[in-house]
Amino acid sequence: MVDSRLSGDGDQIRRRRQCSTCKERFTTYETAELNMPQVVKQDGSRVPFDEDKLRAGMERALEKRPVSAERVDAAISHITRKLTTKGEREIPSLQIGDLVMDELKRLDQVAYVRFASVYRKFEDVNAFREEIERLERQPTPEQRRQQLKLPISDKEKNEQRHRSPPDGPRAAAGGEGALHHPSESPGRLCAGQG
């Protein structure tokens, strides 16, 4: 390996490698293969985590709202990252709902109220009113985006750069054995190795 560094959002490792036989260089991208926890539903049953279901619920709440697909993707990534970093094998569906509500509150207040009305099972108009009054006391998503972010220290930058995924990196195509010489098709070895 010649060089290694984080790329993208820090969830991928880019490595420059060199064939030990012919000395040609090539790049690999490695991502962690993380296991998502099982979701424990309110009736006690357990189901696998389903990112598509998470996305559908958020998109339903955000329907016809001025929120870009990129921001929705970022929110979903944030939720899944929180779930994997908890390191738990099971997570109650209510905790996932709370994470979704936190993200929707940051994205769009109308979408947040839509989701909350179903998730919290508002029984009457007063419950809606109370939730809206709580929202009015907080900055809007637009106001939050306008706020200046505190500068990150050099120490924090360095820690972010060198942080490794919890399960360790694996090549996206199936581990170290999946690395191939760039001029060869998958499954064939470099001319000097075979």
Using pLDDT thresholds of 50, 70 and 90, give the confidence band for residue 178: very low
pLDDT tens sequence across 103-140? 999 999 899 989 988 887 777 788 878 888 888 888 77
Three-state secondary structure of 147-163: CCCCCCCHHHHHHHHHC
Q: What is the CA radius of gyration of the chain?
A: 22
Report residue 58 as tokens: 């958020």
The SS3 of residue 98 is helix
pLDDT tens sequence across 148-173? 666 666 666 666 665 544 444 443 44
Give bridge partners of residue 29 from the DSSP assignment.
14
Residue 83: which residues within 8 A CB-CB, separation 6 or more? 36, 37, 49, 91, 96, 99
H/E element, 12: strand 12-18
Distance CA 140, CA 106 (A): 8
